[in-house]
Amino acid sequence: MREYFELRDTDVGGRIGELTVPRAGVTVETPALLPVINPNLDTIAPRRLADEFGAEILITNSYIIHGTDDVREQALEDGLHDLLDFPGAIMTDSGSFQLSEYGEIDVTTEEILEFQHAIGSDIATPVDIPTPPDVSRERAEAELATTQDRLEIADEIDTGEMLVSAPVQGSTYPDLREAAGRHADSTDLDVFPVGAVVPLMNDYRYDDMIDAVAAAKRGLGADAPVHLFGAGHPMMFALAAAMGCDLFDSAAYALYARDDRYLTVRGTRHLEDLDYLPCSCPVCTSHSPDELRALPDDERETELGAHNLHVTFEEIRRIKQAIRAGNLLELVEQRARAHPTMLDGYRTLLDHAAQLERADPVSKGSFFYTSHESARRPEVLRHHQRLDRLSVPDSLFLTEGDAAGGDEFDDSWRVEPPFGPFPRALSKSYPLTAELPDRTDRAALEAAADGVARLAAANPDAELTLGHTGWPAGVLEALPDGVERIDLTAGRS
Ligand SMILES: [Zn+2]
């Protein structure tokens, strides 16, 4: 177990954890939101973030502080907590983002870590190389090697109680991301940001974002706290949390407010397009859209920023409750309907069902089948894996009906899409207690047929007969020839 991070609850890849930040003397519950504070212009004062929004941790940029003379002097003299007036934990970025934007910065990892320590940062960041998506493999490998050198330097420096992050790079090469995760995990560094995913998120490439996180997670241990670096929009937090991200930072609440953009968990709206405010936060219950539009620019920006933050923190709480209740994937399914690219992200998450299955609790409250994607959930995969281990009599009737099948079979099992066959004694155990729509869909039937095929493959000598309620020929084609079929709606076929 990592010394500073402890897992409390899990659901799919999502976890509720506790990140102990010794230098700040606080414990941050994850998933956590780190509002981004620009030390030169704060939309919402850090004290207000703590008191009104319950922010336990924020992130600011040590490189900007380092490069701004008066702020630097004040930070060195009074410390970051006094400078920002924030009682929680403060994480600092190193200037890597500036490096990716402007091509060069003028500090080394040693210098910036020393500086972060001197100004009282609680979680510091080395100067890694944020390799953008889609670069050549040669470049991704070379830059990753540099990042790994920097992490090793950071690992050697005595940073006292200050935690230090180990960014995981590797561009859009899953094997490099995985190797980067494994290397970062081998250091004694503490927090693991998945880096350089902002360009993916800016381009709505949630599928590639999920692949990058999944690869990093394969390299990192399950006990590593993972930070989705530059995650901004609350719409995708549930998806990223389900893949195993624990920390999210958000500059979006302030950047969007500056452009009169109003965040919702279903996407972004322009204030000028809103006739109603679909939110019950203090800003939205005390203003009409016209009143917001009539405010002076700076006041409007602050009010919109506050709304955006309320929505963002609310989503984090909703995610935590979903993890606790074991229905995080139901929340992800809802969010996936907000935008076609979110649906791509969710479908990509399900491509990693086998990876997610390993951490998913064996039993939860309920499985709601709410879309044909539900047929690919880790619970379905796990049931199919379990079929290999169940003992099967010589002749077995697998049926969607209630009938036991008569004397011609040794036993009769239930068949329920999307799970497929199971002994009746398991009917009351998760996930076979799932709530399913009466009007089943093709994906569920195909998954059930896969289950039958899997059972047949594991028991080549057993005689299996499937009693189905009019499955289409295309679905039945997936069954091995040896499985006899009876259409319960039409009699023996
Ligand atoms: Zn609101």
**pLDDT for res 404:** 62
**pLDDT for res 493:** 45
DSSP 196-250: S-HHHHHTT-HHHHHHHHHHHHHHS-TTS-EEETT---GGGHHHHHHTT--EEEE
**pLDDT for res 366:** 84
**Distance of CA 290 from the midpoint of ligand 1 (Å):** 14
**pLDDT for res 43:** 86
Residues of the chain with pLDDT under 50: 492-493
Active site residue 481: no
**Distance of CA 311 from the midpoint of ligand 1 (Å):** 7
* Active-site choice (93, 246, 360, 450): 93
**Distance of CA 278 from the midpoint of ligand 1 (Å):** 7
**pLDDT for res 266:** 94
Q: What is the pLDDT of residues 127-141, one digit of tens each?
A: 999 999 999 999 999
Domains and CATH numbers, the chain: 5-359 (3.20.20.105), 372-487 (no CATH)
The rounded distance, in Å, linking the Cα atoms of 339 and 254 is 22
Query: Measuring CA to CA, how many Å separate 103 from each of 96, 100, 132, 133?
Result: 10, 6, 12, 16
398: which strand partners?
Answer: 413, 466
Would the pTM of this model clear 0.85, i.e. be above it? Answer: yes
Neighbours of ion ligand 1 (CB under 5 A): 279, 281, 283-284, 307
Buried b / exposed e along 252-270 (16+ C-beta atoms within 10 A): bbbbbbeebbbbbbeeebe
* 274, 291 contact by CB (below 8 A): no
**pLDDT for res 491:** 52
245 is in an annotated binding site: no
**Distance of CA 283 from the midpoint of ligand 1 (Å):** 5
**Distance of CA 479 from the midpoint of ligand 1 (Å):** 52
279 is in an annotated binding site: yes
**pLDDT for res 232:** 82
**Distance of CA 307 from the midpoint of ligand 1 (Å):** 4
128 is in an annotated binding site: yes
Q: What is the pLDDT of residues 167-207, one digit of tens each?
A: 999 999 999 999 999 999 999 999 999 999 999 999 999 99
**Distance of CA 337 from the midpoint of ligand 1 (Å):** 21
**Strands (DSSP E) found in 279-400:** 395-399
